[in-house]
């Protein structure tokens, strides 16, 4: 019959003593002492493993928590949460034992039960009877309804450690000598199996490698379930084994060990980088295409359709109509009138471009003109006004971006391509370098600038095709036309791409322009979109002809306004201010008559000189806008134009004439060539192209990088110092780059210091050219003089060289005389 041995504790209040089961360790050595007729059972599955692990990992955990936790368990007489009650239920009444102590093991999820028994019944029999009772009537705890409580007789000497070592399914079984005078025996797999099989299913027994030098000797026993390993650990730790046929006693020392799982897949991947890395790269590329490309196409479509622009929303338009007289949301009337004058002057050009966009011509539309000629305003604000599906791609911020990441980011912003991970390419480059240095294989995770530009443009092309086909179902409800046939039959439905600032810094970013031109050519040839190029570079045909070699471009050249149109533009810019003033004065006088803009402008006396000033300023749109702003603040036309001319002259000096050597290293023209053009154009409004090329300043320049006269003229044309007019495809005449530059050239020649300094530099170079010619003639004469015999055939050559030497010397003397005069001028002027 089962008996419970109880201890008495007297309360401080003197009340009746309370009886409770002892729940503490025998001593502080970490082991449970068992006397004669005393044995220990271990009951498993009394506590949840996961919960106890978390509780033991608390930084404030102390050993007193065990007693506190047990006291909370004792508050339940027969509750599901009471482990003492589970132990009582697990031990049958018929088992003749007396329980003396219960030692809970939260970390192992069980408890040790120390008991005494009579000598008539052995401990093994008691274990068998309790195990049979649990098998007949299983007890399942609330936290683990699938596993029953199990018990086992502790045959060794359990170690009650409180280290942070948690149960695992693998046990490390070390062979330790039972006494100091003996050496342990190494157990076989059969012996280990017979010892541990009773506690659960064994997955594997791994002996120590034969070549291992680790002591003590050990073996690994892998259980299928962690609970079985816990039972074996608590029952067999410290067990002393006398194997049959051996006089040596071996003590088993058990500990949990993390099982190293075999990673066959990872091992194969790490050992075959030449195969795996390209597969991973292809997978990442496919993942990007599948996931991000549809998102990016959506944002490109929204950018082309202006879906997210607030100014196109109905709310904004309604608010604009309601507050039209209060807030200045629209352009000023004077600016609008000025643009109306510009439109009237270029009405034929606008109509011609609009007609081309309505035709099915698979070619580029090129709008060429100098900076400030109003190319963008003409196309975007006039030709494409009110047209949907317009994409404006400005090349200037793209080519001026710093680094490849900045270039990609700016191009993506221009077409609405997002999300863009421009920073990821730098990281991918580092990964590529690391993989290539370790494995010798180029992973190709990172993409170069060319491939990323092509990817962005291809995604944009796909989105543009969907935009152009958006109205197909409405126009062709029966689906009688294919997509290509629909785009060819309905050119008005195609999207329009405006590529602004094409060939801006073309020599530095040739790759970007090449890819943009190829992309535009593909769109035009497939009838997906109309493409309009806006450029101020005269060599645009070279770049575009490479992408579209078999087509003739529709070219439109924008020049300066005529004096009449320029005057009307300036007057229209001033219409708003003067009209409001005149209206107030008219109301005071009671006159209801309305004046025309020209009549209103004539009321200002200082505008009578506008005709003369317009001729000096020219018809460049940006210069006219500057003049209008100066007149608006009260300046007279002569004063305003004078300041504009002085500012232009200072600009020419800074950019072309007073260039430092380090700044001129990358230029294809010299300061002397620029001054020659300034001086000659000041006397003549136009110069013959070939005459300038044959001049010694261009044909025999001594400045490095400027030896080719035609390249120098082309560079100065792109820098807008001059403009070259062609006829039948060949350059014919040279004029000033801007009309105001013609006046600025004359202004520079009136400055004696600038003129003397620049003429002196030009004469020095010409003298240097002649000196080089003399040096070459002298060298050749020296060679002829040192011949063994003097043949008569060399007489003509010698006379020619002597005449050339004499002519060059006369020129040098004349140049030096002029330089002396110029030096005197410089010394006399500050």
Q: Which of 53-57, 153-157, 284-288, 492-496 has the lowest mean pLDDT?
A: 53-57
Question: What is the rounded CA–CA span in Å between residue 128 and residue 587?
Answer: 121
In this prediction, residue 312 has a pLDDT band, given cuts at 50, 70 and 90, of low
According to the model, what pLDDT value does residue 495 have? 92
Is 661 found in the same domain as 607?
Answer: no
∠ CA(28), CA(31), CA(35), 5° rounding?
110
Is 681 found in the same domain as 615?
Answer: no
Q: Which of the listed ranges 176-185, 529-538, 558-567 does the model predict with the highest average pLDDT?
A: 529-538
Is 428's pLDDT higher than 60? Answer: yes
Is 580's pLDDT higher than 70? Answer: no
Residue 668's domain comprises 640-750
Is 532's pLDDT higher than 90? Answer: yes
Is 73 found in the same domain as 20?
Answer: yes
> What average pLDDT does the structure give for the chain?
79
Is 402's pLDDT higher than 50? Answer: yes
End of a domain among 721, 750, 779?
Answer: 750
Question: What is the rounded CA–CA span in Å between residue 635 and residue 633?
Answer: 6
Is 579's pLDDT higher than 60? Answer: no
Q: Is 784 inside any structural domain?
A: yes
Buried b (16+ CB within 10 A) or exposed e, 723-755: bbeeeeeebeebbbbbbbbbbbbbbbbeeeebb
Is 72's pLDDT higher than 90? Answer: no
According to the model, what pLDDT value does residue 12 have? 36
In this prediction, residue 434 has a pLDDT band, given cuts at 50, 70 and 90, of low
Q: Is 523 inside any structural domain?
A: yes
Q: Which of the listed ranges 157-166, 475-484, 527-536 does the model predict with the highest average pLDDT?
A: 527-536
Is 441 found in the same domain as 376?
Answer: yes
Q: Which of 152-161, 527-536, 789-798 has the lowest mean pLDDT?
A: 789-798
The DSSP string of 450-473 is HHHHHHHHHHHHHHHHHHHTTTHH
Q: Is 187 inside any structural domain?
A: no
Mean pLDDT to the nearest integer, 535-564: 83
Mean pLDDT to the nearest integer, 269-285: 75
Is 616 found in the same domain as 645?
Answer: no
Give percent of the chain above pLDDT 70: 78
Q: Is 179 inside any structural domain?
A: no
Is 626 found in the same domain as 692?
Answer: no
In this prediction, residue 660 has a pLDDT band, given cuts at 50, 70 and 90, of low
Q: Which of 235-244, 564-573, 762-771 has the lowest mean pLDDT?
A: 564-573
Query: How many angstroms separate the most distant Cα atoms in the chain?
Result: 152
End of a domain among 557, 587, 621?
Answer: 557
Is 54's pLDDT higher than 70? Answer: no
Q: Is 654 inside any structural domain?
A: yes
Is 588's pLDDT higher than 50? Answer: no
For residue 532, give the 3-state DSSP assignment: strand
Is 809's pLDDT higher than 60? Answer: yes
Is 228's pLDDT higher than 50? Answer: yes
End of a domain among 620, 635, 650?
Answer: 635
Is 124 found in the same domain as 49?
Answer: yes
More confident residue, 672 or 718: 672
Is 208's pLDDT higher than 50? Answer: yes
Question: What is the rounded CA–CA span in Å between residue 396 and residue 608?
Answer: 40
> What predicted TM-score, i.e. pTM, was given to this entire model?
0.59
For residue 120, give the 3-state DSSP assignment: coil
According to the model, what pLDDT value does residue 233 have? 93
Q: Which of 599, 744, 729 is nearest to 657 (CA)?
A: 744
Q: Which of 19-33, 588-602, 631-645, 775-789 has the lowest mean pLDDT?
A: 588-602
Q: Which of 53, 85, 60 is nearest to 70 (CA)?
A: 85
Is 511 found in the same domain as 614?
Answer: no
In this prediction, residue 393 has a pLDDT band, given cuts at 50, 70 and 90, of very high
In this prediction, residue 442 has a pLDDT band, given cuts at 50, 70 and 90, of low
Is 576 found in the same domain as 549?
Answer: no
In this prediction, residue 205 has a pLDDT band, given cuts at 50, 70 and 90, of very high
Is 124 found in the same domain as 68?
Answer: yes
Q: Which of 199, 149, 135, 148 is nearest to 173 (CA)?
A: 199
Is 307's pLDDT higher than 70? Answer: yes
Q: Is 153 inside any structural domain?
A: yes
The pLDDT tens digits for 703-737 are 877 888 888 898 888 888 998 887 876 888 999 88
Is 572 found in the same domain as 475?
Answer: no
In this prediction, residue 662 has a pLDDT band, given cuts at 50, 70 and 90, of very low
According to the model, what pLDDT value does residue 423 have? 61
Q: Is 720 inside any structural domain?
A: yes
The pLDDT tens digits for 745-770 are 999 999 889 999 999 999 999 999 89
More confident residue, 603 or 689: 689
Is 780's pLDDT higher than 70? Answer: yes
Is 365 found in the same domain as 303?
Answer: yes
Domain count of the chain?
5
According to the model, what pLDDT value does residue 394 have? 93
Q: Is 249 inside any structural domain?
A: no
More confident residue, 788 or 312: 788
According to the model, what pLDDT value does residue 343 have? 65
According to the model, what pLDDT value does residue 224 have? 92
Mean pLDDT to the nearest integer, 636-655: 88
């Amino acid at each position: 019959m089962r008996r419970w041995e109880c201890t008495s504790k007297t309360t401080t209040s003197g009340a009746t003593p309370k009886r409770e089961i002892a729940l503490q360790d025998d001593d502080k050595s970490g082991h449970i002492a068992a006397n004669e007729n005393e044995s220990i059972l271990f009951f498993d599955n009394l506590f949840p493993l996961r919960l106890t692990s978390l509780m033991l990992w608390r930084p404030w955990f102390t050993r007193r928590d065990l007693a506190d936790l047990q006291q909370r368990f004792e508050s339940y007489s027969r509750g599901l949460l009471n482990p003492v009650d589970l132990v009582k239920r697990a031990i049958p009444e018929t088992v003749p034992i007396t329980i003396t102590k219960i030692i809970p093991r939260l970390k192992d999820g069980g408890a040790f039960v120390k008991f005494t028994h009579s000598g008539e019944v052995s401990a093994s029999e008691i274990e068998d009877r309790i195990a049979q009772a649990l098998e007949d009537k299983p007890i399942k705890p609330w936290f683990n309804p699938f596993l029953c409580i199990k018990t086992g007789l502790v045959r060794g000497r359990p170690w009650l450690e409180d280290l942070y070592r948690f149960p695992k399914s693998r046990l490390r079984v070390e062979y330790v000598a039972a006494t100091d005078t003996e050496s342990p025996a190494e157990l076989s797999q059969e012996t280990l199996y017979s010892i541990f099989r009773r506690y659960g299913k064994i997955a594997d027994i791994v002996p120590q490698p034969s070549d291992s030098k680790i002591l003590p000797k050990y073996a690994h026993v892998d259980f299928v379930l962690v609970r079985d390993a816990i039972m074996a650990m608590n029952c067999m730790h410290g067990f002393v084994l006398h194997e049959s046929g051996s006089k040596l006693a071996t003590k088993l020392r058990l500990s949990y060990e993390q099982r190293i799982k075999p990673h066959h897949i990872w091992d194969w991947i790490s050992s075959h980088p030449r195969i795996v890395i390209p597969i991973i790269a292809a997978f990442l590329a496919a993942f990007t295409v599948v996931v991000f490309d549809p998102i990016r196409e959506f944002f490109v479509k929204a950018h082309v359709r202006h879906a997210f622009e607030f100014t196109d929303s109905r709310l904004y338009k309604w608010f604009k109509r309601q507050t039209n007289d209060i807030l200045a949301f629209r352009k000023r009337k004077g600016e609008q009138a000025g643009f109306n004058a510009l439109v009237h002057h270029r009405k034929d050009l606008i109509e011609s471009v609009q007609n081309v966009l309505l035709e099915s011509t698979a070619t580029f539309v090129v709008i060429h003109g100098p900076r400030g000629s109003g190319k963008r305003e003409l196309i975007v604000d006039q030709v494409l006004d009110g047209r949907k599906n317009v994409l404006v791609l400005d090349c200037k911020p793209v080519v001026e971006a710093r680094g490849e990441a900045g270039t990609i980011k700016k191009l993506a912003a221009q077409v609405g391509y997002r999300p863009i991970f421009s920073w990821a390419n730098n990281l991918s480059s580092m990964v590529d370098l690391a993989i290539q240095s370790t494995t010798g294989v180029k992973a190709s995770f990172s993409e170069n600038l060319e491939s990323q530009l092509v990817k962005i443009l291809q995604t944009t092309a796909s989105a543009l095709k969907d935009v152009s086909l958006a109205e197909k179902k409405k126009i062709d409800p029966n689906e009688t036309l294919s997509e290509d046939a629909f785009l060819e039959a309905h050119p008005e439905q195609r999207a329009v791409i405006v590529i602004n600032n094409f060939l801006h810094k073309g020599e530095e970013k040739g790759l970007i322009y090449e890819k943009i031109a190829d992309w535009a050519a593909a769109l035009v040839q497939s009838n997906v979109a109309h493409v309009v190029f806006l450029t101020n570079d005269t060599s645009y045909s070279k770049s575009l002809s490479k992408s579209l070699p078999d087509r003739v471009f529709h070219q439109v050249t924008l020049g300066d306004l005529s004096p009449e149109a320029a005057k009307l533009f300036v007057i229209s810019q001033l219409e708003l201010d003067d009209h409001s003033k005149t209206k107030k004065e008219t109301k005071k006088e009671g006159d209801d008559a309305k004046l025309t803009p020209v009549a209103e402008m004539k009321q200002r006396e200082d505008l009578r000189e506008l005709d003369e000033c317009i001729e000096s300023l020219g018809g460049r749109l940006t210069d006219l806008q500057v003049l209008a702003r100066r007149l608006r603040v009260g300046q007279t036309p002569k004063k305003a134009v004078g300041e504009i001319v002085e500012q232009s002259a200072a600009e020419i000096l800074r950019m072309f004439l007073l260039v430092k050597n380090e700044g001129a290293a990358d230029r294809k023209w010299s300061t002397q060539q620029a001054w020659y053009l300034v001086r000659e154009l000041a006397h003549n409004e136009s110069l013959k192209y070939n005459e300038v090329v044959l001049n010694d300043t261009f044909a025999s320049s001594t400045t490095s990088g400027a030896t080719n006269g035609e390249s120098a003229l082309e560079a100065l044309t792109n820098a807008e110092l001059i403009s070259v007019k062609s006829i039948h495809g060949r350059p014919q005449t040279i004029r000033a780059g801007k009309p105001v530059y013609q006046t600025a050239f004359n202004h520079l020649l009136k400055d004696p210091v600038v003129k003397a300094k620049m003429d002196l530099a030009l004469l020095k170079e010409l003298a240097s050219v002649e000196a080089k010619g003399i040096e070459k003639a002298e060298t050749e004469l020296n060679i002829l003089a040192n011949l063994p015999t003097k043949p008569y055939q060399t007489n003509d050559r010698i006379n020619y060289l002597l005449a050339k030497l004499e002519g060059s010397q006369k020129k040098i003397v004349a140049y030096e005389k002029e330089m002396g005069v110029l030096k005197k001028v410089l010394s006399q002027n500050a």
